[in-house]
Amino acid sequence: MSPLALPHGAARRAAPSLAHALVVLLIFSLQFGPMVGLLGFRVTESPAWTLLSIVRDILVLLLVLLAFSHVAFNGRRGALPASGRWALVMVVAFVGLGLLSSAESTSLALNLRRQLLVPLLFVAVLLLPWSTRQLRDLAALVVGSSVAVAAFGIVEVIVSEPLWVDLLDLQGFNSANPLDPFGHYAFAESGRAFTWDFEVWAGRPLRRAMSTYLEPTTLAAGLAAALALMLAERRWHPRRAGTLALWLVFLCGVMTLAKSFLLYLLVLLSWRLFGLPSPRQVIGLTVLGVLVAFAAESAGLVDGPFAHIAGLATGVRYLAEGGWLGEGLGMAGNYVLDGEEAGAESGLGNVIVQAGIAALIPLLWVRSIAIDVERKARALRDPGGRWLATWLLFWFVSFLFSASSLGVGGNSLGFILLAVYLHPAYRP
């Protein structure tokens, strides 16, 4: 009999162990899955290895099924926090939009995947009956695996072409992926391996850390989550905090040259010195971001590193011009290369063009997470919780200006850690 079908007492005992195994596998899949796929492709030359990321989706869905099965059989002690309820509102809203959409099935599925899996994962972690020890172990696994990812990321930037071109044939792997429209670019021309955003100052393209993610922006999201947790741990256990590990994660994050990570460091410094901005101020910060985007657009800054800012401006203009319901989920965005300019590289812009005013729901969800974390930190007199919540500032910046904020990638680590902290059984 499947553990998912065990009745009552047996299900209550089986759920935490199975859930722990699934989340451990998910963390390893997020941190090392792309590299495993590359190695598998190199050995077998089978293009099936390029789609290994589907394992993450399956693990999330299994975890969600287990969580809701546990609640159905055993009930739940206490109500979900507001952030859990907002996550469910987001799921219901986007499922409804998906049912109303006339998009082609593949595009609709890919965009539903982007919008639904992360909030479902967040709710699943909140619902399951973890022990305090299990939750601490999951947080420790995120830190330990992130240090390994960071160390490899620093080394691979140094080794560079002999590793990715001569030994592993990264271009061959990327070009074999039927869902990757940019996989045909050679290593030296790839925006994943290099950035031209700083060429005006550096005089040449700059190499970016990709590490085991094979991609810098989602890597930056995972490293930012680990950095926020490690900064929180320095408040929880000052004597146990690893300075070398912290610096490895910080350095590799900077070496991604992801604008979201660099902006996060500036925002984090401002928060540390002045208490502003707070993660709960996302609505006001969104207005500020939109004003900056329109100012940049009016100044003609729409190319290169400013394409992300222009995407936010065009997305908001689309909404202001009457696109309250959007084009339909899957009818626009990065997966639909139909010449639609509105939204461009902005995560929020992408969702606005598809879902209209419903694109604001993720912002309300993130705000509710920040409020819940601050409330629990005050109740526990915990000085570290607010540091963990600062990762939401990273996600917020990324959501405004980058479509990589969507989907099950490095961002998932941040939402897993926040759900772990908000779980009733967790204590630092």
Burial class (CB in 10 A: 0-12, 13-18, 19+), 38: buried
**Phi and psi, residue 194, nearest 5°:** -135, 155
- The answer to pTM > 0.85 is yes
Q: Binning pLDDT at 50, 70 and 90, where does residue 321 land?
A: confident
Is 143 inside any structural domain? yes
Residues 328 and 353: beta-carbon distance below 8 Å: no
For the stretch 121-161, pLDDT in tens is: 999 999 999 999 999 999 999 999 999 999 999 999 999 99
Tell me phi and psi for residue 207, to 5 degrees: -70, 140
For 383-412, the pLDDT digits (tens) are 999 999 999 999 998 998 887 787 788 999
Q: What is the pLDDT of residues 17-53, one digit of tens each?
A: 899 999 999 999 999 999 999 999 999 999 999 989 8
The answer to whether position 382 is within a domain reads yes
**pLDDT at 2 > cutoff 50:** no
Judged on CB neighbours under 10 Å (0-12, 13-18, 19+), 9 is exposed
Q: Which amino acid is at 185?
A: Y
Query: Is the pLDDT confidence value at 375 over 90?
Result: yes
Residue 116 lies in a domain: yes
Query: Quick check: is 325 in a domain?
Result: no
What pLDDT shows up at residue 158? 95
How confident is the model over 165-214, as pLDDT tens digits? 999 999 999 999 887 877 778 898 998 999 988 887 888 999 999 999 99
How confident is the model at residue 302, as a pLDDT?
66
206 three-state secondary structure: strand
In this structure, the number of other CB atoms found within 10 A of the CB of residue 167 comes to 11
Output the pLDDT for position 337: 46
pLDDT of residue 181: 73
Whether residue 66 has pLDDT greater than 90: yes
Question: Would you state the pLDDT for residue 1?
Answer: 44
For residue 414, pLDDT over 70 is answered with yes
Instruction: Give the domain range for residue 166.
Output: 3-283+360-422
Query: Do the beta carbons of residue 327 and residue 354 sit within 8 Å?
Result: yes
Let me know: does 59 contact 26? Beta carbons within 8 Å: yes
Residue at 337 is within a domain: no
CB proximity list for 325: less than 8 A, separation 6 or greater: 355, 356, 357
CA 337, 342, 346 angle in degrees (round to 5)? 90
**Long-range interactions of 336-344: CB distance < 8 A, separation 24+:** 336/103, 336/107, 337/181, 341/314, 342/314, 342/315, 342/317, 342/318, 343/311, 343/314, 343/315, 343/318, 344/307, 344/308, 344/310, 344/311, 344/314, 344/315
Whether 197 is in a domain gets the answer yes
Question: Of the ranges 65-74, 112-121, 318-327, 384-393, which one carries the lowest mean pLDDT score?
Answer: 318-327
Count CA within 13 A, CB hemisphere, residue 282: 27
| pLDDT band (50, 70, 90) for residue 347 | confident
Which pLDDT score, from 0 to 100, does residue 320 have? 85
Instruction: State the pLDDT confidence band at 345, using cuts at 50, 70 and 90.
Output: confident
Residue 334 lies in a domain: no
User: Of the candidates 405, 406, 408, which has an alpha carbon nearest to the alpha carbon of residue 56?
Assistant: 408
Predicted pLDDT of residue 369: 97
Number of domains the chain contains: 1
Mean pLDDT, rounded, of the chain: 88
- Helix 282-298 and helix 307-320: axis angle, to 10°? 110
Q: Is residue 61 part of a domain?
A: yes
SS (H, E, C) 147-185: HHHHHHHHHHHHHCHHHHHHHCCHHHHHHCCCCCCCCCC
Token duo for residue 215: 């991609």
Task: Tell me the pLDDT tens digit for each residue of 204-263.
Answer: 999 999 999 999 999 999 999 999 999 999 988 876 667 899 999 999 999 999 989 999
Half-sphere exposure in the Cβ direction for 122 (13 Å, CA): 30
